[in-house]
Amino acid sequence: MTGEGVAPRPEVWGVLNVTPDSFSDGGRYLDPAAALAQGRALVAAGASVIDVGGESTRPGAEPVAPEVERARVLPVVAALAAEGIRVSIDTMNAETAAAAVEAGAAIVNDVSGALADPAMLATVAALPCDYMLMHWRGPSAVWDQVSDYAWAPRDVADELRARLAAAQEAGIAVDRLWVDPGLGFAKRAEHNWQLLAHLDELRALGARVLVGTSRKRFLGALLPDGAPVEERDLLTAVLSALVADRVDALRVHDVAASARALAVQRSLAAAGPAAASAIVALEGAYSAAAPASAAPHTGDRITLSGLRAFAHHGVFDHERRDGQEFVIDVVAHLDLRGAAANDELAATVHYGELAEQVVAAVETDPVDLIETVAERVAAVVLAHAAVWQTTVTVHKPQAPITVPFSDVSVTIVRGRP
Ligand code: PMM
């Protein structure tokens, strides 16, 4: 029905909580027949995997005895798998994982990243299944004490890298592994947004990437107070489309909405060259440096995202004294046809060297403003003769702003005079 390799990327995984108390669908699918019907409906709406869970991870939820968890999920896993549906079991318990795979599950989705049950990695290593390591810093009772990050995208990637290494050491090959930033799990809204904006950090880990944005509280914060949780489905679907090109799978409750949003995203992406020339035309309108006519190469560019530098810029004494992290994105526009035709590094810009030059320019003499830092970076990029235009964004995620915020940045576009 939904064999591996058939599903378009990203896949949509449908959530099926067989619990009395999950925060958005608790109690609806405790009856196996109702769960099976919902699983079928999610597949019909476009899910390639059904993620079956028997224990709520909602803050304040009571832990569930493994026997109770298994009694809830195993009949549903078996019934779905018997229909040829690809099933994931959402569990932190190794015995439940093993029993679910025995019943036909193809994936173990462990929100604890193998930190809750010491037997999990060895168990999964011996099972014929994929394994999802979600970023986790402990149960919801401790989230208040463990929700601080220097820069969430980097910290989460570093912590997941360690979990991936542990999984591989236990004998789980990387082609069986998935990672997930664990949105909402010991993360404040700003951390969730930063993680979504910097998914490349997770992609660089080498495992497949899934994100679970669905119906989470940080989306509810964008809706009027008291809005029903289902109203978050539209926001989830928008996010599904926005991150589609950087993830392998999306875990959602309203599969139809995300599947439709992805259809829109795919149609737009398929119109790539047209979309690219529209962007070039827009950029041309903004930059005197753009060639008068949109030549075929004017969309060519090299992009460096999320470069990190530690520096002492800022107007406050403590910023000058203690320093903080700055994150820089650079787009360098240059004609890449010659480099591609001759496969020749000398005909383009060496991105590793450019990255080092940008970081070095940020890490020198402290100044007050990130505007000044951005100008400095633009000058470094334009020092490469082949570059005719650059877009530089300097983020200051730990800026001294007294209200909750996710990021502040300055973007400039500079070209040759
Ligand atoms: N979120 C929840 C449960 N399981 N699994 C993964 N891999 N990623 C998630 O983000 C995730 C998860 C909590 O949401 P729910 O109560 O709606 O299932």
Instruction: Judge whether 216 counts as a catalytic residue.
Output: yes
Which pLDDT belongs to residue 299? 77
Amino acid symbol at 90: D
- Determine the distance separating the centroid of ligand 1 and the alpha carbon of 212, expressed in angstroms: 6
Which pLDDT belongs to residue 70? 97
Give the start-to-end residue ranges of the domains of the chain: 11-270, 301-415
Per the residue annotation, which of 72, 176, 251, 414 is the catalytic one? 251
For the record, the structure tokens of 382 come out as: 């334009």
Looking at the CA of residue 184, tell me the nearest atom of ligand 1.
Answer: 10
**301-311 sheet: strands from edge to edge:** 301-311, 324-333, 389-395, 409-415
Instruction: Judge whether 187 counts as a catalytic residue.
Output: no
DSSP string, 7-35: SPSSEEEEEEE-SS--TTTTTTT-SHHHH
CATH fold group of domain 301-415:
GTP Cyclohydrolase I, domain 2 (3.30.1130)
Looking at the CA of residue 182, tell me the nearest atom of ligand 1.
Answer: 10
pLDDT tens sequence for the chain (417 residues): 434 445 578 999 999 999 886 666 667 888 889 999 999 999 999 999 999 999 988 787 888 999 999 999 999 999 999 999 999 999 999 999 999 999 999 999 999 999 999 999 999 999 999 999 999 999 999 999 999 999 999 999 999 999 999 999 999 999 999 999 999 999 999 999 999 999 999 999 999 999 999 999 999 999 999 999 999 999 999 999 999 999 999 999 999 999 999 999 988 888 865 454 444 444 444 343 333 334 556 678 999 999 999 999 999 999 999 999 999 999 999 989 888 988 989 889 999 999 999 999 999 999 999 999 999 999 999 998 888 889 999 999 999 999 998 889 999 988 876
Residues within 6 Å of ligand 1 by CB: 15, 17, 22-24, 53, 57-58, 90, 109, 111, 132, 134, 180, 182-183, 210, 212, 215, 251
Closest Cα to residue 215, out of 198, 200, 227, 197?
227
- Determine the distance separating the centroid of ligand 1 and the alpha carbon of 283, expressed in angstroms: 40
Contact yes or no for 399/375 (Cβ under 8 A): no
Which pLDDT belongs to residue 295? 54
Contact yes or no for 253/15 (Cβ under 8 A): yes
Mutate-to-test residue for ligand 1 from 111, 211, 236, highest number of ligand atoms within 8 A of CB: 111
The residue nearest atom 3 of ligand 1, judged by CA position, is: 57
- Tell me the CATH number for domain 11-270: 3.20.20.20
Residue 408 pairs in a beta bridge with none
Contact yes or no for 311/369 (Cβ under 8 A): no
Which pLDDT belongs to residue 385? 85
Amino acid symbol at 408: V
For the record, the structure tokens of 136 come out as: 């986790």
Report the alpha-carbon distance of residue 360 to residue 342 in Å, rounded.
30
Mutate-to-test residue for ligand 1 from 55, 90, 115, 185, highest number of ligand atoms within 8 A of CB: 90
